[in-house]
């Protein structure tokens, strides 16, 4: 009798578990079929752009009946997680946000779906409303793997009050930029700020390009020890003397928050950081922040950075995903998207809109002159390793551990086997 | 056979070999330690790159030769060893001094003991981040304080030497309580009669420490040294939060370099090979540790 009770008890416990598993499996399969008919999953990386995208979800769901799920993954592990997912062909995401520096590895892995057929048919997206540089921003080997999610050229930021007081104008050349900083420093404020710390590569490569150099040639031979690269690195080192002391360890965020929160005359940084200037908790100098194009060196270049967003190759619902991209980034919602706090995409029809410029005075800087050569993060899969080696070498110069030429010669040698690993063709 | 047949179910359960009781633990340990370890060794022999979707190829020991030929492997190992020595030079004497002081059972000992172990309870990530702000050149409280003393501000995290010193300070702040607790336990195990006899014989405090305390806590000290060596070999979070291994790679340890290789360069097989190299370096320390623990009461 006892045995029977025990046996029934066990069955009583086991049965609900079996039923639950069966229901869960049924639920899963039902979910999958629903998903194919009208559900998309979006992979986002925390940023003002991500927040803005999320704000459009309810209206999109209402208009289309397509259910939108999203998840956010911090920048540090976002691309690794995406690569793992694409590698497993898990079909976990229908839309994914990614940094342009990962376009090359994604391209190499054929991880993203070419969007050209969607773009060419879409009047709502209207690719012609973007400059050529912006149209090319998400392209790899002639195919558009990602839409431009933000257009962030490296620009000059300056404190209008300090410049006015000292009778300065935004620099047009690198000599002027240094001299302005020197005068500002002599007046008691911080001269200028750049990130000489873990992101020093952003500024270093900008200067190398602007001074007329290249990081590598067409055959992927490193050229970081050219006389132009040496001059650019020496100039970067010279700027330390007119920067606040802590800039030597500052990263991109530190630089921006210090410029906005302290008395520092100028900063060279990506326009995408302007979102921080709109935050009064960070920006203690509201109404005193001006922007201007980056000074010009031996070459007229625009260093363009920013996010991309695209559809992974293994997406389960690419058509619904495109509908969403068209809805958020199309012409109809272009203004609303920017007003929701996102970094500007760079749609030409709105960058001179008076209402938008009043709140985002940097917008006109997104007009990239046709004469300016556009440079973006090197489109090579080995870039992370290249960048780490470059940061190490430049840091040795900036901290006085090595002479510029010696450090860059050593870097050039170190980069040869790294670039040799890059797949050709 | 006949005897077994006459045993009740309960008796049979009680006479099972001891291995039956620990089997679950062994399986769990195998799944969480042995399998990942063997898998790590296996992938170190392939050429897996996360950005390449090509099928992994067997490359034998190529990742090991590449890692051993890379200057970064040796420079980061040197940095790891430098941190290890600097850390132990600071942490062990400080831990001994605090433990001896607390062992005197002076007034307020219990409160001080509680306060002193607090840093040990905090997560290294939070500690690293807090100290990062404290070490800030322009805004940090440490430079503000030394400025009040008339000393010029130090760019703590901006050069290799000061960066390493900063890491040692932060790690010591967290690790000294651990050293102190182990020494305190060793001191408590020494019979008080030895100290009493020494006092009756007129031994000075220094003599008591040199002739009684030091020899009796030496086995514990050896254990501490071994644990600290292993701690420094895997030190990651504090450095990651404090300097990210910078400027450049100036404060990058072998562990952090392995992380960068795997998760920044996406070279998973090369990172696995570096992991195995760290394991090989740690093995002799582990065996020394096992040997030294035999003498600890």
Residues of B whose CB is below 8 A from A381: 51-52
**Beta carbons of A105 and B266 less than 8 Å apart:** yes
In a domain, B54, yes or no: no
Give the CATH number of the domain where residue B152 resides: 1.10.3720.10
Residues of B whose CB is below 8 A from A111: 53
> Is A75 within 8 Å of A99 (Cβ atoms)?
yes
> Is A382 within 8 Å of A422 (Cβ atoms)?
yes
Q: pTM for this structure? A: 0.81
At A315, phi and psi to the nearest 5? -60, 140
Question: In Å, how far is A56's CA from the nearest CA of chain B?
Answer: 32
Residue B36 shares a structural domain with residue B167: no
Higher pLDDT, B5 or A356: A356
Alpha-carbon distance of A354 to A142, in angstroms, equals 35
Same fold, A38-151+306-348 and A152-305+369-420: yes
Residue B161 shares a structural domain with residue B217: yes
**Beta carbons of B263 and A77 less than 8 Å apart:** yes
Residues of B whose CB is below 8 A from A105: 51, 266
Residues of B whose CB is below 8 A from A379: none
Residue B9 shares a structural domain with residue B98: no
Interface of B with A (CB under 8 A): 50-53, 71, 136-139, 153, 155, 157-160, 243-244, 246-250, 260, 263-267
DSSP states of A187-209 as a string?
TTSEEEE---STTHHHHHHHHHH
H-helix or E-strand spanning residue A116: helix A116-121
In a domain, B99, yes or no: yes
Q: Is A136 left (phi over 0), alpha (psi -120 to 50) or beta?
A: alpha
Q: Which of A294, A299, A285, A308 is nearest to A362 (CA)?
A: A294
In a domain, B55, yes or no: no
Q: Is the domain defined by A152-305+369-420 classed in CATH 3.40.190.10?
A: yes
Pairing of strands A152-159, A143-144: unpaired
List chain A pLDDT tens, one digit each, 425 residues: 333 333 334 444 444 444 444 434 434 433 333 344 589 999 999 988 899 999 999 999 999 999 999 999 988 889 888 988 888 888 999 999 999 988 988 888 889 999 999 999 999 999 999 988 889 999 998 999 999 999 899 999 999 999 999 999 999 999 999 999 999 999 999 999 999 988 999 999 999 999 999 999 999 999 999 999 999 999 999 999 999 988 888 888 889 999 999 999 999 999 988 888 888 888 999 899 999 999 999 999 999 999 999 999 999 999 999 999 999 999 999 999 998 888 888 898 888 889 999 888 889 888 888 888 999 999 888 898 999 999 999 999 998 999 999 999 999 999 999 999 887 76
**Residue B200 DSSP label:** H
Mutate to test the interface with A, among B46, B48, B51 (most CBs of A within 10 A): B51
Q: In terms of residue numbers, what domain contains B35?
A: 2-43
**Beta carbons of B52 and A108 less than 8 Å apart:** yes
Mutate to test the interface with B, among A78, A380, A399, A415 (most CBs of B within 10 A): A399
At B198, phi and psi to the nearest 5? -65, -40
pLDDT band at B5 (very low <50, low <70, confident <90, very high): low
Q: Where are the domains of chain A?
A: 38-151+306-348, 152-305+369-420
Question: In Å, how far is B173's CA from the nearest CA of chain A?
Answer: 23
**Beta carbons of A248 and B155 less than 8 Å apart:** yes
Which residues does A92 contact at the CB level (< 8 Å), separation at least 6?
A41, A43, A85
Enter the tokens of residue B274: 């570096």
In a domain, B48, yes or no: no
Residues of B whose CB is below 8 A from A385: 264-265, 267
Question: In Å, how far is B297's CA from the nearest CA of chain A?
Answer: 45
In a domain, B79, yes or no: yes
Residue B223 shares a structural domain with residue B81: yes
**Beta carbons of B247 and A381 less than 8 Å apart:** no
Residues of B whose CB is below 8 A from A382: 265
Pick A399's closest partner by Cβ from B71, B138, B158. B158
Question: In Å, how far is A391's CA from the nearest CA of chain B?
Answer: 5
**Beta carbons of B266 and A244 less than 8 Å apart:** no
pLDDT band at B28 (very low <50, low <70, confident <90, very high): very high
CA angle, A15 as apex, A14 and A20 as ends, to 5°?
100
Residue B21 shares a structural domain with residue B82: no
Span A38-151+306-348 CATH architecture? 3-Layer(aba) Sandwich (3.40)
Residue B16 shares a structural domain with residue B74: no
Residue B137 shares a structural domain with residue B204: yes
Question: In Å, how far is A384's CA from the nearest CA of chain B?
Answer: 5
How many CB contacts within 8 angstroms connect chain A with chain B? 84
DSSP states of A138-200 as a string?
TEETTEE-SEES--EEEEEEEEHHHHHHHT----SBHHHHHHHHHHHHHTTSEEEE---STTH
For chain B, the domain total comes to 2
**Residue A366 DSSP label:** G
């Amino acid at each position: 009798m006892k045995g029977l009770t025990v046996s029934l008890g066990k069955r009583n416990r086991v049965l609900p578990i079996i039923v639950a598993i069966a229901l869960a499996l049924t639920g899963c399969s039902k979910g999958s079929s629903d998903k194919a008919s009208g559900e998309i999953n979006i992979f986002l990386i925390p940023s003002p752009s991500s927040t803005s995208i999320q704000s459009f979800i309810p209206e999109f769901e209402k208009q289309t009946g397509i259910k939108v799920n999203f998840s956010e993954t911090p920048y540090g592990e976002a691309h690794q997680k995406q690569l793992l997912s694409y590698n497993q062909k898990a079909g976990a995401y229908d839309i994914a946000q990614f940094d342009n520096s990962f376009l090359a590895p994604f391209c190499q892995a054929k991880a993203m779906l070419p969007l050209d057929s969607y773009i060419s048919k879409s009047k709502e997206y209207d690719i012609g409303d973007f400059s050529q540089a912006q149209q090319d921003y998400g392209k790899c080997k002639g195919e558009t793997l990602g839409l431009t999610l933000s257009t962030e050229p490296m620009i000059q930021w300056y404190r209008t009050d300090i410049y006015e007081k000292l009778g300065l104008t935004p620099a047009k050349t690198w000599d002027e930029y240094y001299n302005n900083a020197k005068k500002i420093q002599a007046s008691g404020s911080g001269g200028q700020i750049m990130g000489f710390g873990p992101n020093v590569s952003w500024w270093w490569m900008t200067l190398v390009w602007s001074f007329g150099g290249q990081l590598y040639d067409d055959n992927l031979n490193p050229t970081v020890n050219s006389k132009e690269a040496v001059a650019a690195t020496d100039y970067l080192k010279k700027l330390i003397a007119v920067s606040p002391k802590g800039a030597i360890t500052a990263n991109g965020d530190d630089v921006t928050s210090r410029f906005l929160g302290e008395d520092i005359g100028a900063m060279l940084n990506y326009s995408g950081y302007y979102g921080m200037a709109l935050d009064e908790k960070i920006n203690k100098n509201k109404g005193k922040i001006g922007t201007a194009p980056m000074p010009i060196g031996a070459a007229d270049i625009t260093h363009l950075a920013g996010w991309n967003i695209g559809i992974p190759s293994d997406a389960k619902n690419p058509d619904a995903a495109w509908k969403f991209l068209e809805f958020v980034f199309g012409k109809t919602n272009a203004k609303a998207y920017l007003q929701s706090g996102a970094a500007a995409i760079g749609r030409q029809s709105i960058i001179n809109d008076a209402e938008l410029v009043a709140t985002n005075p940097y917008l006109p800087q997104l007009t990239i002159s046709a004469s300016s050569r556009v440079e973006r993060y090197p489109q090579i899969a080995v870039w992370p390793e290249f960048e780490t080696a470059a940061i190490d070498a430049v840091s040795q110069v900036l901290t006085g551990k090595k002479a510029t030429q010696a450090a860059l010669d050593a870097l050039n040698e170190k980069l040869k086997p790294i670039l040799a690993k890059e797949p050709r063709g | 056979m006949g005897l077994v047949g006459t045993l009740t179910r309960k008796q049979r359960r009680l006479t099972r070999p001891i291995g039956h009781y620990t089997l679950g633990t062994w399986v769990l340990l195998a799944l969480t330690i042995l399998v990942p370890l063997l898998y790590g060794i296996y992938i170190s022999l392939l050429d897996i790159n996360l950005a390449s979707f090509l099928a992994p190829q067997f490359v034998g020991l190529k990742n090991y030769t590449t890692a051993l030929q890379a200057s970064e492997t040796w420079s980061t190992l040197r940095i790891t060893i430098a941190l290890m020595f600097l850390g132990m030079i600071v942490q062990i004497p400080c831990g001994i001094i605090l433990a001896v002081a607390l062992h005197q059972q002076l007034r307020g000992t219990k409160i001080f003991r509680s306060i002193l172990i607090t840093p040990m309870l905090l997560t290294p990530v939070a500690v690293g981040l807090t100290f990062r702000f404290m070490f800030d050149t322009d805004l940090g409280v440490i430079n503000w304080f030394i400025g009040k003393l008339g000393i010029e501000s130090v760019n703590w995290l901006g050069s290799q030497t000061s960066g390493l010193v900063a890491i040692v300070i932060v790690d010591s702040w967290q690790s000294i309580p651990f050293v102190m607790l182990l020494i305190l336990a060793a001191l408590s195990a020494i019979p008080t009669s030895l100290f009493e006899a020494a006092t009756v014989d007129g031994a000075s405090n220094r003599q008591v420490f040199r002739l009684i305390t030091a020899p009796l806590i030496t086995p514990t000290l050896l254990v501490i040294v071994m644990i600290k060596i292993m701690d420094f070999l895997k030190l990651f979070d504090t450095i990651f939060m404090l300097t990210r291994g910078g400027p450049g790679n100036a404060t990058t340890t072998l562990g952090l370099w392995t992380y960068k290789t795997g998760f920044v360069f996406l070279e998973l097989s090369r990172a696995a090979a570096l992991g195995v190299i760290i394991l090989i370096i740690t093995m002799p320390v582990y065996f020394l540790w096992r040997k030294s623990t035999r003498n600890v009461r």
